[in-house]
Chain A
Amino acid sequence: MHAELDQTTGEKMVLNFGPQHPATHGTLRIVLELDGESILKATPHAGYLHTGFEKLGEHLDYNQYIVVTDRMNYLSPLSNNFGYVLAVEQLLGIEVPKRCQYIRVLMAELSRLADHLLWLGTAALDLGAFSVFLYSFREREKLYSIFEKTTGARLTTSYTRVGGVLRDLYAGCEEDIRQFTTDFPKALRETHALLTRNRIWMDRTKGVGVISSEDAINYSLSGPCLRATGVQHDLRKAEPYSSYEEFTFEVPVGTNGDAYARYLVRMEEMIQSCHIVEQALDNLPTGPVNVVDNKISLPKKADAYGHIEGLIHHFKIIMDGHGIQPPRGEHYSATESPNGELGFYIVSDGSGTGYRIRIRPPSFFNFQALPHMLEGGMVSDTVAVLGSLNVIAGELDR
């Protein structure tokens, strides 16, 4: 009976998914060619959020561009701030003080937690688990309060500066973070209890959106999506930056590269990030948070208003054509952002603005591999697979 029906119709249905769809969490679009409920072909379309961030980099000076980097990634802006200034500092050939490195690690790991929490909440919500969304957003809210107190903003953090950070941690920051790291494992256990052995959750995610480790490498996947396939690769271990070699943590890997494995990897990464945060607080060095170099770091306000040297240094850094001017050359620097390898390739012509700023966004590659994971599957899995990839449209389209 079934075979007969297939022969009589033989027609494909084209289903348009997005750009405005509750499960896309941003503006992206997939065109699905369906045979009944199975997907024959999936064509992802990007570009709906294209903002010309790379072009802007050629017109803004090195500190101004930090503002652009956090708009690029609206789930973990701090790690983008971090990745960008690291590239500029390496281009300049400077190293920031130890305390600054630790604060950056601290903030990067907290933002990894915030990213994974938001991902967890929305991915579960897409599959109908509403309470997980509430639990994870409750925890994320605590993190955002810490971000707000530290940087002055919840989303548009712009916390790092070339050669340091905006300001030191606020008084009482350590207690706030310690409170969070104490409470968090319990909250995560609640989520585990809700999802990990949940029949519906397992049915929806296990064996869905599978990609092998060879294919994952061939598609240039990185981050949790790559590690879920069994490749133990983390830039924090492979090419340690900003003192990551001084921290002890595990790199969780999955085995079969399906949506469930990506879920488990992210869940374990949150625990590991918590450990890193605790270590950063335990061993937080004292000292300045900015490089002691008047050509790079802004002087204190009192100096800028009270002394002629301070005023001149302030003027030189701020004014167009005087500011931070890396030597002519180029540099590529990559960090392990919550979604994978976030690279900045900067070409400098020796002036105060970059000649070319190229961003290597992890989401671009994760979204590109989507057809590979969808084709041959069922249309209802689209939401589960897309959710498990955590595509950030702002970063995808730049």
Chain B
Amino acid sequence: MNEEQTALVLEKLKEKYGSSLLAHAEKPDGVIVVVNKENAYALLEYLKTDTEFAYTYLVDVTAVDNSQLESELERFDYARFIVVYHLYSYRGHPRVRVKVPVHERALRIQSVTSLWNGANWLERETYDMFGISFEGHPELRRILMPDDFDGHPLRKDYPLRGRGERESFNFERQNV
């Protein structure tokens, strides 16, 4: 990748979605843009369908729970979760990482399964691990954890071990 191309995709995004971009950066591993939830789908669709950039390959969809990262929380209006999309283009453009802040009071975001079939399981996993709903997903159910599992394990308030079993021992809780 060269610097010119890095600037190119970022310039284009700033021009088209300037008002909805919350932050952007150029890093060695690609271009990072933070976009608000309302325009996230449109931006992703643009990146995929644009004939010049053609980000046809969805690398990954995941989320980060920022609840223990004070600086990030402040930056994005105390949105607890950031949904992260990694895109790749076969045209030699730099990788793009689209980040979308999602508030805990509205844990929903539009699904991108209509753009990429590969997003199906990724969104199911993000739902399973973080509890974020993807609107318009064909079958949003747990994928790694059992269907009747309570809680979302990759949230920061979920302990590494013990939940469930620990809660059934009342005497232990009194000692805390």
Contacts and interface: CB of A to CB of B under 8 A. Distances in A.
A90 B29 contact: yes
Nearest to A235: B88
B143 A345 contact: no
B162 interface: no
Nearest to A397: B144
Counting chain A CB atoms within 10 Å of each CB, the highest count among B62, B97, B142 belongs to B62
B104 interface: no
A244 interface: no
B144 A47 contact: yes
Contact of B117 (A50, A219, A398): A219
Contacts of B97: 332
Contacts, number: 86
B80 interface: no
A356 interface: yes
Interface residues of B, number: 37
B121 A345 contact: no
Contact of A47 (B29, B62, B86, B143): B143
Given A331-B29, A356-B65, A345 B116 contact: no
A74 to B, nearest CB: 18
A298 B175 CA distance: 41
Given A46-B144, A55-B153, A343 B118 contact: no
A117 B141 CA distance: 36
Interface in A42-77: 46-47, 50, 52, 54-56, 58-59
Contacts of B129: 54
Contact of B116 (A56, A220, A372): A220
B34 to A, nearest CB: 12
B59 to A, nearest CB: 6
Interface residues of A, number: 40
A333 B29 CA distance: 7
Interface in B88-147: 90, 95, 97, 116-118, 120-122, 129, 142-146
Contacts of A47: 142-146
A364 B160 CA distance: 24
A218 interface: yes
A349 B66 CA distance: 10
A355 B69 contact: yes
A349 B154 contact: no
A295 interface: no
Nearest to B56: A217
B164 interface: no
Interface in A368-398: 368-369, 372, 397-398
A289 B158 CA distance: 39
A365 B69 CA distance: 30
A343 B62 CA distance: 12
Interface string A244-288: 000000000000000000000000000000000000000000000
B64 interface: yes
A219 B116 CA distance: 7
A56 B29 CA distance: 24
A55 B128 CA distance: 13
Contacts of A365: 118, 121
B13 interface: no
Interface of B: 1, 27-30, 56-60, 62, 64-65, 68-69, 71, 84, 86, 90, 95, 97, 116-118, 120-122, 129, 142-146, 153-154, 158, 160
Interface of A: 46-47, 50, 52, 54-56, 58-59, 90, 215, 217-221, 231, 233, 239, 328, 331-334, 341, 343, 345, 347, 349, 355-356, 358, 360, 364-365, 368-369, 372, 397-398
5 contacts: A90-B28, A218-B118, A233-B90, A347-B64, A398-B144
